């Protein structure tokens, strides 16, 4: 057996170091005397020489070590990786057996499933693996083979977006990894709504499964008056509201022309004819709507991630404030505001503080009636608060 490479964390960092957090940053570590290769297995040691955990080293990333194991007796090998996949899939099966089966489901949720940097979404007969850590590359074949054996998917796609690739020192990839591509867009049903989308060219893994339950909750609170769905992507919130016969009309806004084209197809598939789609930047467009005097009874704000590092928190909160301020100004009295954040750095407390500031500024009371998160297939690692990225607050605005 090889002698494992040991790496020590800096004694100055000892106090604020959470040894069970899967990310170990560069500044928390003592620079190794001999360079360690990218992808090498390392054992993290306390300054006093105590064993903490086992992970993978990446000299190109600010997350210098990703920890995957806290049991010294185990090895970071293929059988460990497969055991993680078994646990991940079992969790979804357990929930779906007791509740409802979903053809579209997140099977692996990165840190939340002990596999920091790996997301696997199932869309019917196809799987999409999204890799956000170089460490995961060593297990790609193991993962694809395991899913192939267990689920016999028609095709497995691999996605590594260029921004992540840059942060992690790897090549961006967007390819069919195993099997075959679907001949055209694939069609799925979510909560009774038909959805079509293109697996090959969609955003992230193709569709945002994390908001599945929240779309239904939001629809439950939507009034019968006009609704505004901001950052609508394929129309998830708008379609869910139409399904329960809610709003008289819906205005859906997104900056992506391609997403809007598909959203229009989805509206037609479900025979919903009261949705108007507009391509615009949400920040400017909402301010124009305020100036025009238009009002809505329900507004959904589901903007993209605004803070990917601690340094961006201030500007992210200002952006959320700007968007939520416009939304409150567009709401009729007693309207419903569904406001979301998918930035892991922004906490629930930050969101509440931002809403309190909007409330003071507009002199309108804001009551949060539901504080929701991501759906059942997106577990959170309690040692990694950043993995609780999705916040979805349903509020009544006086």
Strand order in the sheet with 63-69: 5-8, 41-45, 51-57, 63-69, 23-25
Question: Which residue in 123, 146, 208, 393 binds ligand SAH (CB under 6 A)?
Answer: 208
Q: How far is the CB of 284 from ligand SAH (least distance, A)?
A: 8
Q: How far is the CB of 281 from ligand SAH (least distance, A)?
A: 4
Contacting range for ligand SAH; rule: CB under 6 A; set: 4-12, 111-119, 249-257, 324-332: 249-257
The residue (of 146 and 208) whose beta carbon lies closer to ligand SAH is: 208
Which 289-348 residues touch ligand SAH, going by CB under 6 A? 302-304
211: contact with ligand SAH by CB under 6 A:
yes
Instruction: Provide the token pair at 346.
Output: 């922004």
Residue 89, CA atoms < 13 Å, CB-side half-sphere: 14
Residue 323, CA atoms < 13 Å, CB-side half-sphere: 26
The residue (of 65 and 317) whose beta carbon lies closer to ligand SAH is: 317
222: contact with ligand SAH by CB under 6 A:
no
The residue (of 64 and 391) whose beta carbon lies closer to ligand SAH is: 391
The residue (of 255 and 329) whose beta carbon lies closer to ligand SAH is: 255
* 190 strand-pairing partners: 193
Alpha-carbon gap, residue 62 to 60, rounded angstroms: 7
Q: How far is the CB of 300 from ligand SAH (least distance, A)?
A: 7
- Going 316 to 320 to 323 to 329, the CA torsion angle's sign is negative
Alpha-carbon gap, residue 234 to 90, rounded angstroms: 29
* 219 strand-pairing partners: none
Q: Is 342 an active-site residue?
A: yes
Q: Which of 342, 384, 392, 395 is catalytic?
A: 342
Size of the site for ligand SAH (CB under 6 A): 17
Instruction: Provide the token pair at 89.
Output: 């899939």
Task: Concatenate the DSSP letters of all residues of 62-119 into one string.
Answer: SEEEEEEE--TTS-SSHHHHHHHHHHHHHHHHHHHHHS---SEEEEEEGGGGT-TTEE
Q: How far is the CB of 238 from ligand SAH (least distance, A)?
A: 8
> Which phi and psi angles does 177 have, rounded to 5°?
-90, -35
Q: Which positions from 164 to 183 touch ligand SAH by CB under 6 A, shown as an x/- string?
A: --------------------
Q: How far is the CB of 231 from ligand SAH (least distance, A)?
A: 3
Question: Which residue in 43, 190, 254, 386 binds ligand SAH (CB under 6 A)?
Answer: 254
Which 223-242 residues touch ligand SAH, going by CB under 6 A? 231-234, 236-237
The residue (of 233 and 277) whose beta carbon lies closer to ligand SAH is: 233
- Going 294 to 299 to 300 to 301, the CA torsion angle's sign is positive
Q: Which of 381-390 are b and which e, b meaning 16 or more Cβ less than 10 Å from the residue's Cβ? A: beebebbbbb
Q: Which residue is nearest to ligand SAH (CB)?
A: 236
Which 256-295 residues touch ligand SAH, going by CB under 6 A? 256, 259, 281-282
Residues 6+ apart with CB under 8 A from 278: 251, 252, 253, 260, 285
The residues annotated with a catalytic role in the active site are 342
Q: Which residues bind ligand SAH (CB under 6 A)?
A: 208, 211, 231-234, 236-237, 254-256, 259, 281-282, 302-304
């Amino acid at each position: 057996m090889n002698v494992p490479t040991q790496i020590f964390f800096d004694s100055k960092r000892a106090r604020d170091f959470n040894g069970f957090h899967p990310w170990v940053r560069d500044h928390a570590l003592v620079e190794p005397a001999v360079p360690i290769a990218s992808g090498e297995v390392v054992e993290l040691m306390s300054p006093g020489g105590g064993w903490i955990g086992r992970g993978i080293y990446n000299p190109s990333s600010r997350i210098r070590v990703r920890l995957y194991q806290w049991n010294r007796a185990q090895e970071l090998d293929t059988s460990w990786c497969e055991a993680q996949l078994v646990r991940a899939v079992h969790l979804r099966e357990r929930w779906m057996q007791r509740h409802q089966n979903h053809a579209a489901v997140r099977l692996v949720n990165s840190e939340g499933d002990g596999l920091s940097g790996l997301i696997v979404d199932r869309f019917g007969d196809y799987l999409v693996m999204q890799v956000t850590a170089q460490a995961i590359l060593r297990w790609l074949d193991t993962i694809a083979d395991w899913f192939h054996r267990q689920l016999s998917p028609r095709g497995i796609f691999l996605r590594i977006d260029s921004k992540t690739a840059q942060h992690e020192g790897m090549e961006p990839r967007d390819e069919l990894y195993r099997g075959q591509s679907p001949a055209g867009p694939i069609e799925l049903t979510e909560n009774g709504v038909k959805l079509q989308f293109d697996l090959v060219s969609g955003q992230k893994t193709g569709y945002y499964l994390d908001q599945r339950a929240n779309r239904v909750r939001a629809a439950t609170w939507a009034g019968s008056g006009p609704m505004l769905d901001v950052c609508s992507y394929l129309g998830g919130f708008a379609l869910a509201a139409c399904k329960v016969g809610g709003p008289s009309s819906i205005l859906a806004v997104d900056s992506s022309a391609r997403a809007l084209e598909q959203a229009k197809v989805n509206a037609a598939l479900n025979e919903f004819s009261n949705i108007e789609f507009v391509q615009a930047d949400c920040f400017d467009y909402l301010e124009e709507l305020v100036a025009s005097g238009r009002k809505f009874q329900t507004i959904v704000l589901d903007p993209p991630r605004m803070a990917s590092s601690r340094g961006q928190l201030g500007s992210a909160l200002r952006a959320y404030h700007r968007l939520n301020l416009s939304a409150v100004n567009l709401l009729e009295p007693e309207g419903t505001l569904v406001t979301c954040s998918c930035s892991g750095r922004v906490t629930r407390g930050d969101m509440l503080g931002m809403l309190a500031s909007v409330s003071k500024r507009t002199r309108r009371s804001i009551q949060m009636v539901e504080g929701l998160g991501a759906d059942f297939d997106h577990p959170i690692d309690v040692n990694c608060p950043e993995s609780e990225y999705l916040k979805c607050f349903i509020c009544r605005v006086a």
